[in-house]
Amino acid sequence: MKVIEVKNLKKKFGDKLIVKGLTFDVYEGEIFGFIGRNGAGKSTTVNMLTGISYPSEGNCHILGQENIDLVKKDIGVMPDAANYYYEMTALEHLKFFAGVKKIKPTTIELMNILKAVGLEGNERKKVKAFSFGMKKKLGVAQALIGNPKVLFLDEPTSGLDIQSSLEIQQLILDMAKEKRTIFMTSHNLAEVEKICSRIAIIEDGVINKYGSMEDLQKKYTNEQLVSIELGQIPQNIVEKMTEILSPFVIETHYKEGYLYCRIEDRNLTPKIIFALSKEEIEIFEVKQEKATLEEIFLK
Ligand SMILES: Nc1ncnc2c1ncn2[C@@H]1O[C@H](COP(=O)(O)OP(=O)(O)OP(=O)(O)O)[C@@H](O)[C@H]1O
Ligand SMILES: [Mg+2]
């Protein structure tokens, strides 16, 4: 089921077109990663999807509704720069935002949310006494109020230490398991690669890459790297290796029991294995090294 449907979404500030016609869908239970450089238009897009601002052109439907006000209760938002009320305690802050959403969660429910984001023990501390990371976690907590079906998290882990990032990532994964749909932006490509099921890369207001990690890897890695763990081989064979494999590989490199082959097409892998077997070389493991999201992003 499509939970977020975006068609030709545009945003102008003055006469400057910032978001230049985005079209994509996000499905139920998916963790969708939205990545791009600073100023690419991520937060501007999140703001349109969550009703914080209006599109200049095009549209987005959330849970089938174009009027976001009708589904406000079903969506949770952690904006890029959350507004914090410094004189409020964490608990009061969440109560205030529950009021904005016109819902009335119990204190216990709110305490549980604070616990889930790692703020247990700080419930009655004033926000002005919070560190940057604690405020960030409070932002995630704010998005979780009322147990919404769709979550928009704008850079939920940026600036957090490794331990806290991992906790928030786990929380995001747990939420998706319960069929919640999560749209998140991030600059941490390893994080996106690890937890997101599909990804869109936005560049200068345009989506230039879109799909699952496997789709992107297939599409953007034409050259592939295969690593093969070999048994003991005599020096004369090591020297002959390049010659033996030359019909199939662009380049080979042998180091400490591992043979690395750069090939044009993954269909050549069996041929390499066959050629090595013919020389009676033992093969322990063959691994297709895949492009990382960082490599795809930089392409
Ligand atoms: N209210 C506004 N008025 C004018 N220009 C704006 C406004 N909001 C954003 N912009 C511009 O739109 C562009 C995209 O900004 P946006 O905040 O969407 O980027 P982003 O992808 O979220 O970047 P970051 O990774 O730094 O958070 C930037 O050039 C920014 O200056
Ligand atoms: Mg942003």
Q: In this structure, what CATH number is given to the domain that contains residue 254? A: 3.30.70.980
Q: Band of the pLDDT at 223, cuts 50, 70, 90?
A: low
| Pocket of ligand 1 from Cβ distances under 6 Å | 13, 18, 36, 38-44, 80
Pair (60, 136) in one structural domain: yes
Pair (145, 283) in one structural domain: no
CA distance 59 to 66: 7
Pair (78, 155) in one structural domain: yes
| pLDDT > 70 in the chain, percent | 99
Average pLDDT (123-141) is: 93
Other CB atoms within a 10 A radius of the CB of residue 276 amount to: 22
Last residue of a domain, one of 160, 189, 218: 218
Q: What is the CATH number of the domain that holds 86?
A: 3.40.50.300
Whether 207 has a pLDDT exceeding 70, the answer reads yes
Q: Band of the pLDDT at 294, cuts 50, 70, 90?
A: confident
Last residue of a domain, one of 218, 253, 273: 218
Last residue of a domain, one of 199, 218, 237: 218
What is the domain range of residue 270?
222-298
Pair (278, 161) in one structural domain: no
Pair (227, 196) in one structural domain: no
pLDDT of residue 264: 85
Q: Which tens digits make up the pLDDT trace of 52-101?
A: 999 999 999 999 999 999 999 999 999 887 678 889 999 999 999 999 88
For residues 226, 229, 230, 232, the Cα torsion angle rounded to the nearest 10 degrees is 140
Pair (213, 226) in one structural domain: no
Q: Rounded to the nearest whole angstrom, what is the distance from the C-alpha of residue 63 to the centroid of ligand 2? A: 24
Q: Rounded to the nearest whole angstrom, what is the distance from the C-alpha of residue 39 to the centroid of ligand 2? A: 7
Pair (92, 128) in one structural domain: yes
The tally of domains found in the chain comes to 2
**CA distances from residue 255 to 197, 229, 230 in whole angstroms, order as listed:** 35, 10, 10
Ligand nearest to the CA of 34: 1
Pair (66, 187) in one structural domain: yes
SS3 136: helix
Closest Cα to atom 8 of ligand 1: 44
Pair (111, 163) in one structural domain: yes
pLDDT of residue 79: 85
Pair (228, 254) in one structural domain: yes
Ligand nearest to the CA of 13: 1
Pair (100, 227) in one structural domain: no
pLDDT of residue 26: 97
**Is the Cβ–Cβ distance between 202 and 41 less than 8 Å?**
yes
**Is the Cβ–Cβ distance between 113 and 144 less than 8 Å?**
yes
Pair (112, 210) in one structural domain: yes
pLDDT of residue 222: 59
Q: Band of the pLDDT at 237, cuts 50, 70, 90?
A: confident
Q: Rounded to the nearest whole angstrom, what is the distance from the C-alpha of residue 266 to the centroid of ligand 1? A: 41
